[in-house]
Each structure stands twice: as C-alpha cells, then as structure tokens.
Structure 1
Amino acid sequence: MATVFSQIISGAIPGRFVWADDVAVAFTTIAPITDGHTLVVPREEIVQITDAPADVLAHLVRVAQLIGKAQQEAWDAPRVALLTAGFEVPHLHLHVLPAWDEQSLTFANARHDVPAAELDAAAERVRETLRGQGQGEHVPATLGSPG
C-alpha cells in the first residue's frame, strides 16, 4: 500500500507543494512547528534516511538548503532547522523550518489547528520567495500540484 506521502505526490490526497523535480517534492505540513514548516520528500518510497542512496540523500539535502534559504528570507529567521525523525510516516522526509531557538524544535509544538487559509498563505510565501531567489523552474504552477 502506498504511503500517505506517495498519495499526496500522486494527487490522491491534497498537498501544498512548494517544490517539484524528478527526484523530490516539497510540501508544507498540516501540523507546522513554525510557519513555513516544509517536508522534503523523495518521489521514490524510501523508508528512512539510512536506506537512501547517497545521491538521493544529497539531492534532498540540497533541496532542503534552498527551501531553508527561502524560509529564512521570508520570515527573517536567524536559523533554519533540519529535522529527520520519520516515525509518523514510513517514507523518508526532511523537516525544514525557520527557527528562532532550539527549545521550540520539538514535535510537541506542532500546531494541529491552523486554518487552511493560513497554511495556504505560508506555502505561497515560500513559493514566492523561491521564485524570487531564482528557483522558479522548480516551483509547481499551482499550490495543489506536484508538477
């Protein structure tokens, strides 16, 4: 059975996409720790970071870096955090989020009640900043499509 992330990538479940290329997609999470919290996910179902081929992992980290630069600019954050846990979905994903302190970097701070309009606005903010930073070719044409 396909993972929830594979279902999002295929369009069976809606997603808020900010990045798409042949290897990876990135979409904002529905339970953000901070505004703009984005997941970078390989298109291929890979269970965890230790299972990833080196070239795929390197690509995911490069995409995470580019998204992090966009988040840092969009929210004027002093840092960007990169978290990898993967207990909730057995499909490798990197959590990329603007960060102001280490104490807030816990999944216990994930907000599950953010209105859809706010989630959309945060995703659009990342998308617009990526375009402004010259990454427009990887920003899907619409928020709801992985391209």
Structure 2
Amino acid sequence: MASIFTKIINREIPGHIVAEDENYIAFLDIMPLVKGHVLVVPKQEVDYIFNLEPEVLSGLHLFAQQVAKAMDKTIKCTRIGVAVIGLEVPHVHVHLVPLKAMDDINFTRPKLKLSNEELAEIAERIKGGL
C-alpha cells in the first residue's frame, strides 16, 4: 500500500508543496512543530533512510539544503534544524524545522493546527525564496 507521502507525490491527496524535482519533493507538515516545518522526501518509497542508495541519500540532502536556504530567507528564525526520525510514516523523510529555541524541535510537544490558508501562505513564501 502506498504511503501517505506517495499519495501526495502522485497528487492523490493534497499537499502544500514548496519544491519538487524528478527525484525529490518538499511539502509542509500539516501538523507542524512550528510554522514553516517542512518534510523533504525522496519520490522513491523506501522505509528506512539508510536503505537508500548512496546517490539517492546524498541527493536528498542536497535537495534539503536548497529548501532550507529558501526557508532561511523567508521565515524568521535563528536557523533551520534537521531531524530524521523515521517512525511515523514508512517512507524516508527529513524534517526541516525553523528554530528560535532548542525546544522548537522537540517532537513530544503538541503539534500546531494551522488553517489551510495559513499553510498555503507559508508554502508560497518558501517557494518565493527558491
């Protein structure tokens, strides 16, 4: 069965996409830790990051770097934090989280519930920084 991320990639369900190329996609987390929390995903559905082929793994990080630089330009934060947990969805994903404090990347915190309009505005802002 396709992961929720594959369904976003295939446009079977909506996603607030901020960047995409032939191998990777980045979109807003709909239950973010902070405003602007982005997920960067390889289009190839693989469950565990260290099972990716070396060129896919390195490409994922280079793609994430481009997205993080756009986020840095467009979101007020001290820096962009990076996390790979890999337990929530069986599809590799890198979390890019705008940080003002260490606690901003605490995954045990309650998640934000943003409106579709707020998410769309944040996505457009990040896209503008690419």
TM-score (norm 1): 0.83
Which position in structure 1 is the counterpart of 2:81?
81
Counterpart CA distance in 2 for 1:26 and 1:104 is 20
Q: What is the CA distance between 1:110 and its match in structure 2?
A: 4.9
- Answer yes or no: is 1:48 the counterpart of 2:61: no
Letter in 1 for 2:28: T
Q: List runs of 5+ in structure 1 lacking aligned partners.
A: 131-147
Residue pair 2:79, 2:99 contacting (<8 A) in 1 also: yes
Identity %: 35
Q: What is the CA distance between 1:108 and its match in structure 2?
A: 2.6
Give per-residue Cα distances to partners, 1:115-136, cap 9 Å, x unaligned: 1111111111101111xxxxxx
Counterpart CA distance in 2 for 1:28 and 1:104 is 16
TM-score (norm 2): 0.94
Counterpart CA distance in 2 for 1:31 and 1:107 is 11
Q: Structure 2 matches for 1:1-147, cutoff 5 A? A: 1-130=1-130
What is the total number of aligned residue pairs between the two structures? Answer: 130
Residue pair 1:27, 1:39 contacting (<8 A) in 2 also: yes
Residue pair 1:31, 1:110 contacting (<8 A) in 2 also: no
Any runs of at least 4 consecutive aligned residues in structure 1 with deviations exceeding 6 A, and if so which?
none
The Cα RMSD (Å) is 1.2
Counterpart CA distance in 1 for 2:88 and 2:104 is 19
Residue pair 2:24, 2:41 contacting (<8 A) in 1 also: yes
Letter in 1 for 2:94: L
Which position in structure 2 is the counterpart of 1:139?
none
Q: List runs of 5+ in structure 2 lacking aligned partners.
A: none
